[in-house]
Amino acid sequence: MLDPQIIFAGVLNGLLAGGIYVLVAVGLTLIYGVLHIINFAHGSLLMLAMYAVFFLWRLIGIDPYVALPVVIAGAFVFGFVLYRLVIGRFSHGRDENILLITLGLSIVIDNVALLFFGGDTQTIDVPYAGSFVELGAAFLPLPKLISFGASLLICAILGLYMAKSDTGKAIRAVAKERQGARLVGIDVDNIFAISYGIGIACLGAAACLLMPSYYVTPTSGHAFVLVAFTIVVLGGMGSFIGAAVGGFIIGITEALGGLFLGEQLGQIGISLIFILILLLKPTGLFGSKA
Amino acid sequence: MSRQALLCALGLAAAVIYPLVAPNYLINIGMMVFFVAFIGQSWNIAGGFAGQTSFGHVVFFGTGAYTSTILQVTYGWNPWLAWPAAMLAGGIVGWVIAFLSFRAGLRGSYFALITLAFAEVFRILANSVPFTRGGLGMLIKADQRPINFQFKEPIWIYYIALALCVISLLIAWQLTRNRFGARLVAIRENEDAARALGIDVFAEKVKVLTLSGAMCAAGGTFYAQKYLYIDPSIAFGVDKSVEMLLVSMVGGAGTIFGPLIGSVALTAINEITRWLASVVPALKNVQPLSLVVYGIMLVLIVARLPDGLMGLFRRKPRHA
Amino acid sequence: MLEVRELSKSFGGLKAVDQASLDVRQGEIVGLIGPNGAGKTTLFAAIAGFHAPDAGHVAFEGKDITGLAPHRICAAGMVRTFQITQPFAKISVRENIMVGAYFRTADRKLAEREAEAVAGIVGMAGQLDQMGADLTVAGRKRLELARALATGPRLLLLDEVMAGLNPTEITEIVQVIREIRNSGITILLIEHVMQAVTSLAERVYVLNQGRMIAEGTPAAIAENAQVVEAYLGHGAAKVLRA
């Protein structure tokens, strides 16, 4: 049996990782909740945003945290335009067709990245990268702590925005009843594009928060895509609270899986959870209807 | 003899003669075209004919590759005997995944994603358990004799790939003219209507995935025998899943010749980018470029050309 | 032939069908009418095995078929069509009907012949090579009918085969349904088009808010004006009388 202190540290680290997962998953679940499309390009877009953060730092020397507003805004615009130019035109018909289109997009994005950025692993060397905070037996990397707090803060702001702002209300109206929303004069297509943009903006934020403690390669998206889907399915497709709770559960599962089963086999927990949820309770923990 | 039959006979004759005149390099390319068309057809039978889009078909491929390799390397089986065993294993995995997923009522994207997750579970397991030697992969001892399913001359492995491809075409052709195939298409087009017309949708879907799994597993064994090496990321990686899906979609999902046409098209693109890379030094990293093209093609075809390249062929005579 | 006894089906607290009973006898054409949302389609779905009923039972030719899967019910000799037509869009009319015909035979040639014969019955002989997606509303309705017929049922459940058709098309399809009955197939049909029901059906059931509220000859139902008025809304009695 493992030392409870090690388990405690593992749980804490899992929670910290979960904080970022929440942000990634919130974007995915928002896109699903409003547009009813499964955005398979989610991981690839995150990877792209991570490269943006990397190059901002490498070329202009902007600290990832300072870059937050810029990258969030840029990601929003990118998502908005991507929806208008590509996804929106095809986001009808059979749902697996949209899945295939976003798969196609992810193939394009991954390989464009490989073509232009090369296959090397890139990291950002910020001065605080090696700082730790001691909490009981656990040493928590400072960047992970910061990203955890910032991630939750951003989610809270987003939640507030969805609840209070006119756009947020319109988005929720469209998510609930798109025909009805159209009837009361909401520009539904515009709301779709905005929602997609916000979903990608979440990735922008996640990228800024990830880079100080993580690395990026053109395949970085792969590592996140199944994780993000698992969180969203676990929490319930389209549910914000579900994405938050799911993010933490998956973060901890991953950490403990690694601890008990080792680096390789430890990854199996996420896929197994994904399969079991789909087989046993496809609506997830907080979902209404699949 | 109808025009189509004549064309098929001519095509087959050309494919048989081809390796007698082509250099080894081109024989290898031809072999890959037929091999990819074969595993693509295994995807097409489930994804194209029956409409059960899978993102993780590689799970069957890897099951086949590992089953025959383990039987051969660890238990000393003859690879020819291990081949049907691998197909059996692939069929069983197909049956189990289909049984679980369809019993749970998964459709469309959910089915696609759960197959992806199954492939991931298999990949992680293959990476972790001792009897697959984990990430080290497995080497098949080179002993180039036909009895070992290994050949000195590439022409033989080419003919085996061709035979596999022809068999898969015959299976697809049968599906366009028998009851099972008609039921699969009905299920793809409208599950509720299919049920109302007395089709046991669940049973038919399980059946087609079992068949598809067995076929794909046969491809896995073939691959292992050709390269004499497999590891978890080759055997269960997402790349092969995408390749099978791509050739079918590009060529024309749910058509007999779709996977073959798609395989030819993708190989052509691959060779063109390879050639470009040799003349344009800036493009020395080829692989991603062809994948970029594949991705764009996938988007365009799903959006604009649901019958893939076959759709182009088919439309022409009607207007002529 | 068909006995439905106190069938109930709820969706999340809402009772879509509430202890509904009905009988269909061999050789009859029976109508099932009721306002929108009365639960007619749900009742059909529960009879044909698409929804498992919460309570009650269904017997067909004396055998209990409650909650059986649709393909088993089809095998028993009862088949349904859909109100919202569900053609197999990417295959031809011939292939559409063959899917039904394959229920009785695995032989392609036989299925093809059978499909062509059925197409003749429903008046689609000239459209065999059209794609399912290219059909008009009337064509789709006929196709629904043809596919169901091709499975060789003894009882057909028709869900609003006349909705959305113009008067000429209705007259034509009424004729087709009569012929089908005359060939020995019993028919239970849901309808909104009252006129068609009164001219076709020997008996009519009225369903409202999930409950069976009346049963009788079309004339009797039409005479029962107050009941009809109360349950089908204002003006309904007038429509029926017309």
Q: What is the pTM of this model?
A: 0.91
Which has more pLDDT, B230 or A265?
A: B230
C and B in touch (3+ CB pairs within 8 angstroms): yes
Distance CA B23, CA B30 (A): 11
Question: What is the structure's pLDDT at C236?
Answer: 58
Query: How many C-beta atoms lie closer than 10 Å to residue B129's C-beta?
Result: 13
In a domain, A132, yes or no: no
Residue at A273 is within a domain: no
Q: In this predicted structure, what is the pLDDT of residue C15?
A: 85
Q: Give the per-residue pLDDT at C232.
A: 59
Closest approach of B298 to chain A, Cα-based (Å): 5
Could you tell me the pLDDT band of residue C229, with boundaries at 50, 70 and 90?
Answer: low
Give the one of A99, A267, A271 whose C-beta lies nearest to B112's C-beta.
Answer: A99
Specify the pLDDT at position B4.
86
User: How does residue B316 score in pLDDT terms, banded at 50, 70 and 90?
Assistant: very low
Q: Which residues of C touch B196 (CB under 8 A)?
A: 48, 50, 70, 74, 79-82, 86, 148
Q: Which helix (H) or strand (E) holds B163?
A: helix B154-175
**Would you place residue C127 in the very low, low, confident or very high pLDDT band (cuts 50, 70, 90)?**
very high
Mean pLDDT of the region C209-224: 83
Residue among A39, A90, A107, A116 with most chain B CBs within 10 A, to mutate = A107
For C93, residues 6+ apart whose C-beta sits below 8 A from its C-beta are: C119, C124, C127, C128, C129, C130, C131, C132, C135, C139, C143, C146
- State the ipTM, two decimals: 0.90
Mean confidence (pLDDT) of chain B: 92
**What span, in angstroms and rounded, lies between the C-alpha atoms of C39 and C208?**
7
Least confident of A244-258, B23-37, B182-196: A244-258
Domain that holds residue B73: 22-237
Q: Judge contact between B274 and B286, C-beta under 8 A.
A: yes
Torsion sign (Cα): B94, B95, B99, B105: positive
Q: Token pair for residue C94?
A: 């011939």
Amino acid at B1: M
**CB contact, 8 Å: C225 with chain B?**
no
Chain C: touching chains (3 or more CB pairs < 8 Å):
B
pLDDT at A275 over 50: yes
In 3D space, the residue among C223, B43, B113, C134 whose CA is nearest the CA of residue A230 turns out to be: B113
DSSP 8-state assignment for residue B148:
G
φ, ψ (nearest 5 deg) of residue B217: -65, -35
The sheet with strand C155-159 has its strands ordered as C78-80, C155-159, C186-190, C29-33, C203-208, C211-216
The helix or strand, by DSSP H or E, that contains position A147, with its residue range, turns out to be: helix A142-164
Q: Which residues of B touch C140 (CB under 8 A)?
A: none
CA dihedral of residues A112, A93, A85, A198 (deg, nearest 10): -90
Q: Which residue has the higher pLDDT, A219 or A264?
A: A219
Quote the minimal CA–CA distance from B119 to chain C in Å: 31
Q: Is A265 an interface residue toward B (CB < 8 Å)?
A: yes
Across the interface, whether the CB atoms of B285 and A118 are under 8 A apart is answered yes
Q: Which of A197-206, C80-89, C233-242 has the lowest mean pLDDT?
A: C233-242
Is A95 domain-assigned? yes
Q: Which amino acid is at A200?
A: I
In this structure, the strands spanning C63-64 and A122-123 are unpaired
- Residue C127 touches chain B, beta carbons under 8 Å: no
B298 part of a folded domain: no
**3-state SS, one letter per residue, for C113-132:** HHHHHHHHHCCCHHHCCCEH
Greater pLDDT, B248 or B277: B248
Structural domains of chain B, count: 1
Cβ of B192 and C82 within 8 Å? yes
From the list B177, B197, B201, the residue facing C99 with the nearest CB is: B197
Query: Looking at residue C105, which CATH number applies to its domain?
Result: 3.40.50.300
Which residues lie across from C156 on neighbouring strands?
C79, C187
* Whether the Cβ atoms of residue B59 and residue B233 lie closer than 8 Å to each other: no
Q: Is the pLDDT of residue C235 over 70?
A: no
Residue A213 has what pLDDT?
85
Domain region containing A99: 8-119+144-219
Total count of domains within chain A:
1
| Other Cβ atoms within 10 Å of C120 Cβ, number | 13
Is the distance from CB of B165 to CB of B159 less than 8 angstroms?
A: no
Domain that holds residue C14: 2-241
A227 occurs within a structural domain: no
* H-helix or E-strand spanning residue C56: strand C55-60
Q: What is the largest CA-CA distance in chain B?
A: 61
Position B168 in a domain = yes
Inside any domain, residue A202: yes
pLDDT digits (tens, 9 = 90+) for A72-90: 999 999 999 999 988 888 7
**Percentage of chain A with pLDDT > 90?**
41
Contacts 24+ apart (CB under 8 A), A34-37: A34/A171, A34/A174, A34/A175, A34/A191, A34/A192, A34/A195, A35/A91, A35/A192, A35/A195, A35/A196, A36/A95, A37/A87, A37/A91, A37/A95, A37/A98, A37/A99, A37/A102
Going by pLDDT thresholds of 50, 70 and 90, the confidence category of residue A285 is confident
Whether A129 and chain B come into contact, CB under 8 Å, resolves to no
Q: Are A247 and A202 in contact (CB under 8 A)?
A: no
Q: Would you state the pLDDT for residue A111?
A: 92
How far is B190 from chain C, CA to nearest CA, in Å?
A: 6
Separation CA C79–CA C70 (nearest Å): 8
- Beta carbons of B179 and C108 less than 8 angstroms apart: yes
Of A101, A222, A282, the CB nearest to B299: A101
Does B contact A via 3+ CB–CB distances below 8 Å? yes
C14-24 vs C2-11, strand pairing mode: antiparallel
pLDDT (0 to 100) of residue B317? 40
Count of residues for chain C?
Answer: 242
- Cβ atoms of C87 and C99 within 8 Å: the answer is no
Q: What does the mean pLDDT of chain A come to? A: 88
Please tell me which residue of chain B has the smallest CA distance to A113.
B288
> Is pLDDT of C227 > 60?
no
Burial classification of residue A115, based on how many CB atoms lie within 10 Å of its CB (0-12 exposed, 13-18 middle, 19 or more buried): middle
For position B318, what pLDDT does the model report?
39
Q: Chain B residue with minimal CA distance to A39?
A: B109
Contact C79, C180 (CB under 8 A): no
Give the whole-number percent of chain A exceeding pLDDT 70.
97
> What is the arithmetic mean of pLDDT over B83-88?
97
Q: In the complex, which subunits touch A with 3 or more CB pairs below 8 angstroms? A: B
Give B47 or B319, the one with higher predicted confidence.
B47
Q: How close B301 comes to chain A (CA, Å)?
A: 9
A94 touching B (Cβ < 8 Å): yes
Shortest Cα distance from B116 to chain C (angstroms)?
A: 28
Per the CB < 8 A criterion, the answer to whether A221 and A45 are in contact is yes
The counts of H helices and E strands in chain A are 12, 4
Mean pLDDT, chain C, rounded, equals 87
Contact C108 B196 (CB under 8 A): no
Q: Is the pLDDT of residue C226 over 60?
A: no
Q: Is C125 on the interface with B (CB under 8 A)?
A: no
For the CA atoms of A171, A176, A182, A183, the dihedral, rounded to the nearest 10 degrees, stands at -130
pLDDT at C233: 63
Rounded to whole angstroms, the Cα distance separating C65 from C47 reads 8
Q: Which of A230, A264, A273, A277 to mutate to test the interface with B (most CBs of B within 10 A)?
A: A264
Q: Residue A165's beta-bridge partner residues?
A: none
- pLDDT tier, B219 (very low <50, low <70, confident <90, very high otherwise): very high
- Burial grade of A100 (CB within 10 A; 0-12, 13-18, 19 or more): buried
> CA nearest B182 in C: which residue?
C99
* pLDDT band, very low/low/confident/very high, at C223 (cuts 50, 70, 90): confident
